[in-house]
Amino acid sequence: MSGLFQSLTSAANALDAQRMGLDVVGQNMANVNTPGYARRKLILGELPPTDPNNAGRGVEVLMIQAQRDMFIENRLRQEQQGASFSNAQMQSLMYVQAGIGLPGGGLDATMNGLFDSFSAFATDVTSTPVRDNVVAQGRNVAQTFNTIAQRITSARVDADGRVRAAVDEINSLASQIAALNGRIATANNADVETLRDQRNVALSRLAELAGVNVAETGSGSVTVSLGSGTPLVVEATVFHLDMSPSTPSAMGALSIGGQDITSQFDEGMIGALLQLRDTVLPGYMTRLDQLAYDVATQVNAVHSAGFDANGNAAGDFFVQPGAVAGAAAAMAVDPGLAANSLLLAGSSTGAAGDNQTAQALAALRDARVMSGGTATAGEAWGQFVYHVGADIAVAQSQSETHDQVVLQLQRLRDSASGVSMDEEAAWLMKYQRAYEANARFFTTVNSAIDTLMQMVM
Amino acid sequence: MRLIFDVVRDGLFSINSIAEQMAEARTQVTTGRRINQASDDPLGTALAIGEHGTIATIDAYTGTANAASSRLAAADTVLTHFIDKLTAAITTTAGARGSTATAEIRTAASQQLRGLRDSLLGDINAKFGGTFLFSGSETTTAAYAQVGGAWTYQGDAVAVQLEVENGRRVGVTIDGQALAQGSDTTDLFTALDDLATAVDNNDQPAIQAGMDALERAFDRAVSAQSRVGIDERGVDDATARLSALRLAAEARRSELEDANLAEAIAKMNEADTSYRAALGAVSTAERLSLLDYLK
């Protein structure tokens, strides 16, 4: 009699275990689209017999295991940092590139327009409309320099603003991770896999924003550090990232606990934005300023050596920049000349029809007097455009490579942690059949007990 | 290895990759340009900027050459008239010279010489495009005018030059004094006035001196016209060279910037086919699963 009751208990355990299996399948199917979810697997264990003459006590649920591969998770986070870096850099540079224009349609075209007007001026230095055209073309060149400088400045300010927004998000994610660390550490064997899933999602986003190193401790918590090891999260403690106010002359600096760590960010979206803000875009601006300074200085040198239409010694054509820095943004045609084109110098002798100064101005187009005497104005602009284009092309190439690697790693992660509906359907059938079989076994044992009871009664 | 096809991630990645290729090919076909932003080909873009600069330089030289050609043609025409009038003056003087010329003939000749003087004055004060051709670089001032009863050259000896191609300059104004006076002690107009007076007075030595002055002026005018002719030919040669250079520069620019349309259209069609295939593949990827067979 005790054997039949034990069989009944064994069947009941088995029914519980198979139902648990169905629950796990249901949980997996329900979370097939949940970001960060790692599929669960039911681990069953045989209950051994207590008596050598007994077949066994059935089955028990040992655990519900989340299927994770920590190595792949870490690799994925690292690649996401690189992908995020390249994408952020590419997007910002695209904005700068949009202001450059196509060959023959950007600053090169406006500078050619100015030199063309000097050539036309040389053929007829006495014509007022031709003089007006030279001044208009000079104004066009100055405005084009202004616009490109403004676009670079705007991209820089935009990068600074995006860093500031990212800092807020990083602090929010760090707080979230610290809270999850605390709950995981104090869970006391309760199911922590859901918390780990949530933490992985937060860590993944954090990796996109900034280059982070993640190390798991024995308690299940993770330690998150930035750049060269500055801690952001330790156990349940958060070290908040701060950003100082930005001013026109100084962009905001990043710090933790008062220590400036701006230079430690060299990965993730923030790394890219800081590199753009502090290195790449200022580099472009320096090149543009140098070109603007050279154009203004060279044109002024020739122009001021000539004589205007009234036979008087001429002044500058452009407002002479005081320094290279800021030359592009401040470039403008001399106000006096802009108001009166008779002040334009075409003559080098003072004679009304002499065109030697006009010819010298036109000859500047092919003169290698820019960039320290190594390039023409067109070549210097070509070098600028080349650098911007090459930086974007490199970022694009790196972005494509990172995207491919991230995709491969996501597939690898899915091969370990992803939910397959076919696989779950197979498990569903298996648990369903097992449940049906155990239910039949339960019914049979129950029937045997009934038969035995009727004999007693 | 477990293989899981994520329709959103894997499907969209494939579709987006092909869509990017198609968009690039479509842009090339619709714009006809291979380079639509600097990052498409940074070096090609920089080189194309250089070619645009070269073309602009050539166009500027061509414009200057055309302007020079027009001015030289105008000067050539004026010099032709100038020479014709000098010839007429010489012929008239020859008719009034010697003992056979009557007083009436001399009077008519002197009047004709004064008329030719005025006509030659008009020639040397000719304007083209609003500026004087024979005043050197003082192009807003007439070459000759009577100042205080004397013919005076108001220009200078500096010829305005235009650069019609790299390093080649041509003068487009002429030193009127070199034409009308040269190394003589008096200019052509004073000489004509003196000659007319000499003819009136039948002063044969003075007539001969005037005749000699006219012949020297004739030689100077022929020489000046010859130089103008040489410059005109030089400008024509330069224009032809510039035209050839522009074609070459345009070909280089086109090679750098313009799309090979046949290739771009083929790529677009190929990308379109791949795009449709990707859409089809993704849409059928999860059409069936084991769940469909569960009863």
Best of B3, B52, B250 to substitute, by most chain A Cβ atoms within 10 angstroms, is: B52
Based on the domain organization, do A332 and A437 belong to the same domain? no
Q: Please give the Cα distance from B225 to B228 (Å, whole number).
A: 5
CA angle, A93 then A95 then A98, to 5°? 110
- Chain B residues with CB-CB distance to A411 below 8 A: 3-4, 10
A359 confidence band (pLDDT: 50, 70, 90): very high
| Least Cα separation, residue B282 to chain A (angstroms) | 16
- Chain A residues with CB-CB distance to B37 below 8 A: 97-98, 102, 389, 392
Structural domain containing residue B63:
52-251
Task: Give the pLDDT score at A102.
Answer: 84
Task: Give the pLDDT score at B295.
Answer: 63
Lowest mean pLDDT among A44-53, B157-166, B282-291: B282-291
Whether A292 has a pLDDT exceeding 60, the answer reads yes
Q: Is A414's CB within 8 Å of B160's CB? A: no
Task: Evaluate whether residue A83 is within a structural domain.
Answer: yes
Task: Evaluate whether residue A443 is within a structural domain.
Answer: yes
Name the pTM for this structure.
0.85
CB neighbour class for B202 (10 Å; exposed up to 12, middle 13-18, buried from 19): middle
For residues A213-238, average pLDDT: 88
| Least Cα separation, residue A5 to chain B (angstroms) | 34
Whether B91 has a pLDDT exceeding 90, the answer reads yes
Q: Count each helix (H run) and each strand (E run) in chain B, helices first.
A: 7, 6
Task: Give the pLDDT score at A57.
Answer: 85
Strands A212-216 and A222-226, by their bridges, are antiparallel
Task: Give the pLDDT score at A2.
Answer: 56
Based on the domain organization, do A61 and A93 belong to the same domain? no
For residues B12-25, average pLDDT: 88
Whether A424 has a pLDDT exceeding 80, the answer reads yes
B244 confidence band (pLDDT: 50, 70, 90): very high
C-alpha pair distances (Å), A228 with each of A34, A88, A178, A210, A231: 33, 21, 20, 12, 9
What are the structure tokens assigned to B148, written together?
Answer: 């205080």
Nearest residue to A73 via CA among A410, A420, A419, A418: A410
- Chain B residues with CB-CB distance to A103 below 8 A: 35, 45, 48-49, 51-52, 253, 256-257
Task: Evaluate whether residue A439 is within a structural domain.
Answer: yes
Enumerate residues 82 to 141 of chain A having a beta carbon within 8 A of any beta carbon in chain B: 93-94, 97-98, 100, 102-104, 108-109, 112, 115-116, 119-120, 122-124, 126-127
* Highest mean pLDDT, choosing among A61-65, A72-76, A297-301: A297-301
Task: Give the pLDDT score at B287.
Answer: 67
Closest alpha carbon within chain A to B288:
A422
DSSP3 helix / strand / coil % (chain A, rounded to 5): 65, 10, 25
pLDDT tens across A130-157, in order?
999 999 999 999 999 999 999 999 999 9
Task: Evaluate whether residue B1 is within a structural domain.
Answer: no
More confident residue, B268 or B5: B268
First-residue to last-residue Cα distance in chain A: 15
Out of A127, A386, A419, name the one closest to residue B43 (CB): A386
Mean pLDDT (chain A) is 92
* Highest mean pLDDT, choosing among A87-101, A178-192, A410-424, B223-237: B223-237
Q: Please give the Cα distance from A46 to B173 (Å, whole number).
A: 113
- Chain B residues with CB-CB distance to A421 below 8 A: 286, 289-291
What are the structure tokens assigned to A82, written together?
Answer: 């690189």
Closest alpha carbon within chain B to A121:
B64
Enumerate residues 354 to 383 of chain A having a beta carbon within 8 A of any beta carbon in chain B: 354-355, 359, 362-363, 365-366, 376, 378-379, 381-383
Whether A1 has a pLDDT exceeding 70, the answer reads no
Amino acid at A260: D
Whether B215 has a pLDDT exceeding 80, the answer reads yes
The residues, ordered by sequence, that sit 6+ positions from B102 with a Cβ below 8 Å of its Cβ are none
Nearest residue to A302 via CA among A353, A369, A243: A369
Out of B48, B63, B138, name the one closest to residue A352 (CB): B138
Based on the domain organization, do A113 and A202 belong to the same domain? yes
- Chain B residues with CB-CB distance to A342 below 8 A: none
Whether B150 has a pLDDT exceeding 90, the answer reads yes
Instruction: Express as a percent the part of chain A with pLDDT over 90.
Output: 74
Chain B contact for A420, CB < 8 A?
Answer: yes
Question: CATH number of the domain that B119 lies in?
Answer: 1.20.1330.10
Task: Evaluate whether residue A45 is within a structural domain.
Answer: yes
* Highest mean pLDDT, choosing among A48-52, A94-98, B87-91: B87-91
Best of A95, A97, A123 to substitute, by most chain B Cβ atoms within 10 angstroms, is: A123
Out of A98, A349, A407, name the one closest to residue B13 (CB): A407
Q: Is A351's CB within 8 Å of B138's CB? A: yes
Based on the domain organization, do A330 and A447 belong to the same domain? no
Number of domains in chain B: 1
For residues A112-118, average pLDDT: 96
Closest alpha carbon within chain A to B62:
A119
Size of interface A-B (CB pairs under 8 A): 186
* Helical axes A70-98 vs A377-417, angle rounded to 10°: 150
Based on the domain organization, do A324 and A201 belong to the same domain? yes
Task: Evaluate whether residue A401 is within a structural domain.
Answer: yes
For residues A64-89, average pLDDT: 90
Number of domains in chain A: 2
Task: Evaluate whether residue A255 is within a structural domain.
Answer: no
pLDDT tens across B121-144, in order?
999 999 999 999 999 999 999 999
For residues B77-104, average pLDDT: 93
pLDDT tens across B263-281, in order?
989 999 998 999 898 888 8
Based on the domain organization, do A154 and A19 belong to the same domain? no
CA angle, A12 then A16 then A22, to 5°? 140
Instruction: Express as a percent the part of chain A with pLDDT over 70.
Output: 99
Q: Please give the Cα distance from A28 to A44 (Å, whole number).
A: 17
- Chain B residues with CB-CB distance to A349 below 8 A: 137, 158
DSSP3 helix / strand / coil % (chain B, rounded to 5): 70, 10, 20
Task: Evaluate whether residue A373 is within a structural domain.
Answer: yes
Based on the domain organization, do A287 and A394 belong to the same domain? yes
Maximum alpha-carbon separation in chain A: 141
Based on the domain organization, do A204 and A334 belong to the same domain? yes
Q: Is A352's CB within 8 Å of B140's CB? A: yes
Task: Evaluate whether residue A338 is within a structural domain.
Answer: yes
Based on the domain organization, do A32 and A60 belong to the same domain? yes
Report the SS3 class of residue A39: coil
Report the SS3 class of residue A242: strand
A25 confidence band (pLDDT: 50, 70, 90): very high
Based on the domain organization, do A396 and A335 belong to the same domain? yes
Whether B3 has a pLDDT exceeding 90, the answer reads no
pLDDT tens across A312-341, in order?
999 999 999 999 999 999 999 999 999 999
For residues B191-198, average pLDDT: 96
Structural domain containing residue A144:
74-165+194-209+265-405
Whether B289 has a pLDDT exceeding 80, the answer reads no
Give the helix/strand (H/E) hosting B218. Answer: helix B204-257
For residues B88-108, average pLDDT: 90
Based on the domain organization, do A127 and A44 belong to the same domain? no
Which residue shows structure tokens 């933790």? Answer: A256
Best of A97, A102, A151 to substitute, by most chain B Cβ atoms within 10 angstroms, is: A102
pLDDT tens across A363-400, in order?
999 999 998 899 999 999 999 999 999 999 999 999 99
Based on the domain organization, do A303 and A371 belong to the same domain? yes
